[in-house]
Amino acid sequence: MNKSADRIAGKRDAGKQALEVVAGNGLIDRRALLGRGVMLAGAMGTGIAPSAAGAESLTDGPWSLEIGEATPPYQLRSKFEAKVVRTLSNPNNEPRNSHARTPHHLLEGMTTPNGLHFTINHGGIPAIDPEQHRLVIHGLVKQPLEFSLETLSRYPQVSRVTFLECGGNSAPMFSPVPLQETVQALHGLVSCAEWTGVKLSTLFEETGIDPKAKWLVAEGADSPHLSRSVPVKKAMDDAMIALYQNGERLMPGNGYPMRLLLPGYEGNMNVKFLRRIKVVEQPAMSMYESRTYSQILPDGKAYRFYFLQEVKSFIANPSHGMALQGPGLYEISGIAYSGAGRIEKVMVSADGGTSWGQAALQEPVLSKAFTRFRMPWRWDGGPATLQSRAWDEAGNVQPTRAEFIAVRGELTKPPPILSFPNQHCNSITSWGVASNGEVKHVYA
Amino acid sequence: MNKSADRIAGKRDAGKQALEVVAGNGLIDRRALLGRGVMLAGAMGTGIAPSAAGAESLTDGPWSLEIGEATPPYQLRSKFEAKVVRTLSNPNNEPRNSHARTPHHLLEGMTTPNGLHFTINHGGIPAIDPEQHRLVIHGLVKQPLEFSLETLSRYPQVSRVTFLECGGNSAPMFSPVPLQETVQALHGLVSCAEWTGVKLSTLFEETGIDPKAKWLVAEGADSPHLSRSVPVKKAMDDAMIALYQNGERLMPGNGYPMRLLLPGYEGNMNVKFLRRIKVVEQPAMSMYESRTYSQILPDGKAYRFYFLQEVKSFIANPSHGMALQGPGLYEISGIAYSGAGRIEKVMVSADGGTSWGQAALQEPVLSKAFTRFRMPWRWDGGPATLQSRAWDEAGNVQPTRAEFIAVRGELTKPPPILSFPNQHCNSITSWGVASNGEVKHVYA
């Protein structure tokens, strides 16, 4: 154990005990840290630290000297937050798909605000009149039924906080060289919200289901009529027709006025603008399930119907593109989630995986939801490689990148050409910190 | 027990068991209902029910026949949701306070979306430049310190889901006659969000605190420099300097770029635009604590420093101003919360408090957060009086209105004149349902 990393020179309070190091290169036990003073203001006063306050500290800004702005019926964020946006793959709305990625490095907690939830749409965002929209359930049912939004609102509803992730999230990690991209570019196709709606099983109680039924085909009302096949077993488990997102009606890009929600399953299956569920014996082999979301393996074969988003984590702060402001104490913070249930633990390394310390998990830890993890770190100004690794309650562990590509393959040259494999990457992400504080994406 | 309410005439599936009634006038056991079909589509097909689906059900709307809209960097809600807004007390921003009330009857789940979180501001909404803003902690501390937003971001952060409620929420309930107002007008000054920031105790570890300190005075950077006194004990417990609201930076009306968060304490104490915390021996007796938020009792005396928002609940659906669309099954849904901890149970009555059934609580049930409750109800078309009553884990029970006014007093004539008492009303709310389906605010 590095004695210098084990101790903060506490000039201000020499009686305090040494901070307990839990892993190499400066990872500190959070419980030991809290209640003892993190001492940014004391002897560690390099980099960004609070300054001694004096009389000059209480001068008024211009906003303290005038009446402020009017209160709006629906409030929007500060103009000073204009840089906090989703990055767009198709800003001019050309006739192809459009990605909008969540800026995880600028957010906190487990909730993705509705304005910044990731979206992918394949024919633009339809402006659906909710009073005219209908959901039809037909096929192998006893009684085909048509539901309006008002009808659906009469049924018992449920809420759950759950993440949604595109099967192609983190696809840049298949590159043979680490792409110099932000956490938003690498992992921005996952978000988390509280969804409320009607369980699909409740509606199937209404229509009845033929015992021969094994699949359902869900179809959207957008112009591509995107459709995906879903096992009836999932539909009867925790599938929901979602009507609300973080308390208000769904955002237009997230499926307004209703979408299929399949907690833990790849995003594309959670069909938006849902207008039809046909109950059938065999999957439809629609384009998105037979082509786009097939995973090509190194031997040329492909996984068929690989739905689950597996256990994953990444550090959002610090991350690629940031610059640490000098040696001192930092909080490493990131997100973990698993389509198989609750996150059990997250380990963090500052030395590229040589040693690991257990991160604090923010309560409540919910099944198939974002779990924020945090770990205090004393950066000594030397090189560091930051990683996080998550375990879920089902016993799954997030693989290293080497473990992952050994099974799933790797691209022969860097994207962005359309290339395979590009699906369901859940490997560990590594951020390299240089002595000048710059943070870069690295493979380690 | 009413036999006709105990049974749904199940023509479509005569083998199904009778629905279990849990209280008078049609309250139904939720567990018995789920998994058995709520049968809106069957014999109960009066009012709004799904219709039998045929070939005509799958016609395309215009949005299915054209490329949709472009994906924006920050997404906003559908134009069809324009009616879902906060109601404003001061839309022209005259030089007085401005209330914006949350439309609970149009929302779902436990999260209030950021656009619709209630706000009260006393000098408009200041447009604070976050790079210039500072928080100063001084007074009875060992080392006065000044924090920028960037400095604060270096400290360990925590998240918690918690409600905020104005001490004057539900003030219309002091009226001697039931005001014919919506749930938004009656109870719209309470909302719930996930807040993330730095615990105040962490910052006091930095500054140190003189043992003589018993209070702190928190002051905002808005033009009124709103200030409130807070016991040091609360500050060292769960107080937070909140920086994020539902994942993104605070909304301007909610205190951007930082506010004091005192979970469970009346909203006004959660000082917004926080620029100063002075640690002192005695409370400041500022205007808001010595005048506005004093509760005048029937004997002319007043409570001093009554901070806690007590256990409370109200039904949001159905509620005043709505009209039920004929007899049949409905879901009664509402919100419960307590400043003293978790909600333990919520009971619902459909007969004005003669009999009660236990509502389902949506998980997760979190301390000092909104808890959504739900109860299925079969309305037989006759008069009904709907009520909810909440208990918290500390053993507190929500009072009836009669119990409440016996202790806290009642106005001699209806508002809206500025009048006392008007604080901390947590009594039961009653909605009367007439035979024509109209829902009105009543006292029962």
The pLDDT tens digits of the residues spanning A193-203 come to 999 999 999 99
Whether B381 and chain A come into contact, CB under 8 Å, resolves to: no
B435/chain A closest Cα distance in angstroms? 19
pLDDT value at residue A39: 59
Q: Do B147 and A50 touch (CB under 8 A)?
A: yes
The yes-or-no verdict on residue B55 having pLDDT over 70 is no
Given a contact cutoff of 8 angstroms between Cβ atoms, the answer to whether B161 and B109 are in contact is no
Per-residue pLDDT tens for B115-148? 999 999 999 999 999 999 999 999 999 999 999 9
Within a 13 Å sphere around the CA of B141, how many CA atoms are in the beta-carbon half? 24
SS (H, E, C) A120-175: EECCCECCCCCCCCCEEEEECECCCEEECHHHHCCCCCEEEEEEEECCCCCHHHHC
Provide the number of CB pairs (under 8 Å) joining chain A to chain B. 439
Instruction: Tell me which range, B51-55, B153-157, B340-344, is most confidently predicted by mean pLDDT.
Output: B340-344
A330-378 per-position pLDDT tens digit? 999 999 999 999 999 999 999 999 999 999 999 999 999 999 999 999 9
Chain B, 96-155: which have a CB under 8 Å from a chain A CB?
98-100, 106-117, 119, 121, 123-134, 136-138, 143-148, 150-151, 154-155
- Tell me how close the Cα of A298 comes to any Cα of chain B, in angstroms: 35
Cβ pair B196:A123 closer than 8 A: no
> Looking at residues B168-177, what average pLDDT do you find?
95
Q: Which residue has the higher pLDDT, A61 or B11?
A: A61
Nearest by CB: A115 against B75, B79, B136: B75
CB-CB contact of A423 with A309 (8 Å): no
pLDDT at residue A40, as a whole number? 66
Measured between CB atoms, does B323 come within 8 Å of chain A? no
pLDDT at residue B38 in the model: 56
pLDDT of residue B13 exceeding 80, the answer is no
Which residue from B39, B65, B159 is facing A362, i.e. has the nearest CB? B159
Average pLDDT of B353-361?
Answer: 97
| Partner B contacted by A90 (CB < 8 A) | yes
- Residue A19 pLDDT > 80, yes or no? no
Q: Do A144 and B54 touch (CB under 8 A)?
A: yes
Q: What percent of chain B stands above pLDDT 90?
A: 78
User: Which of B108, B121, B131, B378 to mutate to test binding with chain A, by most A CBs within 10 Å of its CB?
Assistant: B108
Cα–Cα dist A114/A103, whole Å: 12
Tens-digit pLDDT profile for residues B289-326: 887 887 778 888 888 888 999 999 999 999 999 999 89
Residues in B 293-312 with any Cβ partner in A closer than 8 A = none
Q: Smallest Cα–Cα separation from B23: which of B437, B407, B384, B406?
A: B384
Residue B348 pairs with which residues in a beta bridge?
Answer: B357, B388
CA pair distance B185, B168, nearest whole angstrom? 12
Q: Enumerate the residues of chain B whose CB falls inside 8 A of the CB of residue A149.
A: none
pTM, rounded to two decimals:
0.94
Residues 403-422 of B with CB under 8 A from A: none
* Per-residue pLDDT at A129: 97
What is the enclosing helix (H) or strand (E) of B358? strand B357-358
Among the residue ranges A109-123, A202-216, A289-303, A335-349, the one predicted with the least confidence is A289-303
Mean pLDDT score, A165-192: 97
User: In chain B, positions 201-260, which contact chain A (CB-CB < 8 Å)?
Assistant: 201-202, 205-207, 221-223, 225, 243-244, 246-249, 251-254, 256-257
Q: What is the pLDDT of residue B417?
A: 62
* Contact yes or no for B108 and A247 at CB 8 A: yes
Average pLDDT over residues B404-420: 83
Q: Which residues contact A22 (CB under 8 A, 6 or more apart)?
A: A28, A29, A357, A358
Average pLDDT, chain A: 90
